[in-house]
Amino acid sequence: MTVPEKKGYDPFSARLGILISGRGSNLQAIIDAVSAGTLDATIAVVISSRADAQGLQRARDAGIEALSLSPRDYPDRHAYDRALADALCARGVTLVCLAGFMRLVGQPLLDAFPLRILNIHPSLLPAFPGLDAQRQALDHGVRVSGATVHLVTSELDGGPIVLQAAVPVHADDTVETLSARVLAEEHRLYPDAIRLVLEGGWTIVGRRLVRGSVS
């Protein structure tokens, strides 16, 4: 019997490594989706760049291994990224999810997980990359903003887009009210995007993620 080839990953071997720096509400959304059985994956490890990240406790409460690796303990960015890659590889991680990980991902990590790193960003990219996306959106006066999940490349917030969700921006919005509206969408979007990526059957064409066969 010939087994048909399938691009993407085997969902049964999906082992997620989630990188955080703080609150971890997106991490919680992923933990909840896995526990509810709506996301067919195992969270192998959660790694924080900050020892005081609230997300570490969320992981421990869910019985997930939680580590803190501080960049301050490494001589440079590359050494830090290599340590992250080593920790993820040692746990058999097949897909890395950045969930509020407030650091640029460097080449050692990109090389260890080519097209296997996802990020969530609180704007409709390519608008408002980088820090304070919600503040940038308000300052610019846009009427619609949102959230984006994308594959991570060496370009800051610039990799192929997996999914986006839009939210309205109201005249009386503050950074807090807009962030809360965007965050509610993020929690829905990230598990959906992980599921889509794990299902396979997609290809990268130029900078686009294309689902189905490409002629």
Instruction: Report cis status (omega within 30 of 0) of the bond before 108.
Output: no
CB of 130 to ligand GAR, least distance (A): 7
**Rounded CA separation 179/175 (Å):** 6
Q: Which is nearer to ligand GAR, 40 or 132 (CB)?
A: 132
**Rounded CA separation 214/207 (Å):** 14
Q: Is 170 one of the annotated active-site residues of the chain?
A: no
Total residue length of the chain? 215
Q: Which is nearer to ligand GAR, 8 or 129 (CB)?
A: 129
In the chain, the amino acid numbered 152 is V
Q: Among all residues, whose Cβ is closest to ligand GAR?
A: 100
Instruction: Give the Å distances, CA to CA, from 88 to 49, 56, 94, 195.
Output: 14, 16, 9, 20
**Rounded CA separation 123/150 (Å):** 11
List of residues contacting ligand GAR (CB under 6 A): 20, 22-26, 55, 99-100, 120-122, 133, 183, 186
CB of 187 to ligand GAR, least distance (A): 8
Q: Which is nearer to ligand GAR, 132 or 200 (CB)?
A: 132
CB of 31 to ligand GAR, least distance (A): 11
DSSP letter at 206?
Answer: T
Q: Which is nearer to ligand GAR, 41 or 147 (CB)?
A: 147
Alpha helices by DSSP H, listed for the chain, are 25-36, 54-61, 77-90, 107-112, 133-140, 175-199
Q: Which of 78, 121, 150, 170 is catalytic?
A: 121
CB of 178 to ligand GAR, least distance (A): 11
Residues belonging to the active site = 121
